[in-house]
């Protein structure tokens, strides 16, 4: 379902935001259309008119999050950056996205067992891995005996664990920890 840029866009945005909060707080299965509509200040028929079903609403949230990820990962890195600078820039972008979309990150990282199977493509599943591998391939000479693919796995694992820990906490933000996270990752990867 593609976003509707017409006059109903504010209603759609309110419903999506309410759904993200409800899914994160109650889980996908327990969050009802009634609950989501009520939280957004609408009635269930409004949800059905915009999304067709709870699943349609969830699919729209997934599309929004993927679009946000594509936007972040699609920004070119400035030329001449060192590996730590490249990583800090992009990790900060991703952590700021996690802060803005905390409900969705919470849902996907802390409650994945509760989500419907959307039959996602392998292409989307590997998007972040391919991105990190590309960044590391631009700095392969700084990786010692590690390959860009190995470095990408380490980066992804540490980033996943870091964000998951933050989501389980009451901390308001995480982007301020960018440098610490990158230093941790590089300390375990690069030769001294």
* Of 47, 65, 61, residue with least CA distance to 11: 47
Q: For residue 109, is pLDDT > 80?
A: yes
Residue 112: predicted pLDDT: 83
The 3-state secondary structure of the chain, one letter per residue: CCCCCCCCHHHHHHHHHHHHHHHHHHCCCCCCHHHHHHHHCCCHHHHHHHHCCHHHHHHHHHHHHHHHHHHHHHCCCCCCCCHHHHHHHHHHHHHHHHHHCHHHHHHHHHCHHHCCCCCCCHHHHCHHHHHHHHHHHCCHHHCCCCCHHHHHHHHHHHHHHHHHHHHHCCCCCCHHHHHHHHHHHHHHHCCC
Residues of the chain with pLDDT > 90: what percent? 71
Q: For residue 119, is pLDDT > 80?
A: no
Mean pLDDT of 87-114: 92
Residue 190: predicted pLDDT: 58
Fold of 75-192: Tetracycline Repressor; domain 2 (1.10.357)
Pairwise CA distance, residues 59 & 103, whole Å: 15
Mean pLDDT of 15-39: 95
Question: Do 1-61 and 75-192 come out as alike in CATH topology?
Answer: no
100 or 123, which is more confident:
100
- For residue range 38-73, list pLDDT tens digits in order: 999 999 999 999 999 999 999 999 999 999 999 999
Pairwise CA distance, residues 67 & 62, whole Å: 9
- For residue range 124-168, list pLDDT tens digits in order: 668 889 999 999 999 999 888 889 999 999 899 999 999 999 999
Residue 116: predicted pLDDT: 86
pTM of the model: 0.87
Task: Read off the pLDDT band of 123 (50, 70, 90).
Answer: low
CATH of domain 1-61: 1.10.10.60
For the chain, domain boundaries? 1-61, 75-192
Residue 61: predicted pLDDT: 94
User: Any idea which of 8-12, 33-37, 46-50, 68-72 has the lowest mean pLDDT?
Assistant: 8-12
């Amino acid at each position: 379902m593609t976003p509707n840029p017409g006059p109903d866009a504010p209603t759609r945005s309110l419903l999506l935001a309410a759904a993200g909060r409800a899914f994160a707080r109650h889980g996908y299965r327990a969050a009802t259309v009634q609950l989501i509509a009520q939280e957004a200040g609408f009635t269930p028929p409004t949800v059905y008119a915009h999304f067709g079903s709870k699943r349609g609403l969830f699919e729209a949230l997934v599309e929004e999050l993927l679009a946000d990820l594509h936007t972040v990962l699609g920004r070119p890195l400035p030329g001449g950056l060192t590996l730590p600078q490249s990583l800090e820039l992009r990790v900060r972008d991703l952590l700021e996205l996690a802060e803005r979309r905390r409900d969705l990150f919470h849902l996907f990282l802390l409650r994945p067992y509760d989500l419907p199977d959307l039959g996602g493509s392998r292409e989307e599943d590997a998007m972040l891995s391919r991105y990190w591998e590309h960044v590391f391939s631009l700095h392969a000479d700084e990786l010692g005996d590690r390959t860009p693919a190995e470095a990408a796995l380490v980066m992804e694992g540490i980033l996943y664990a870091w964000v998951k820990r933050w989501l389980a906490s009451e901390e308001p933000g995480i982007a301020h920890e960018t440098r610490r996270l990158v230093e941790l990752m590089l300390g375990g990867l690069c030769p001294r």
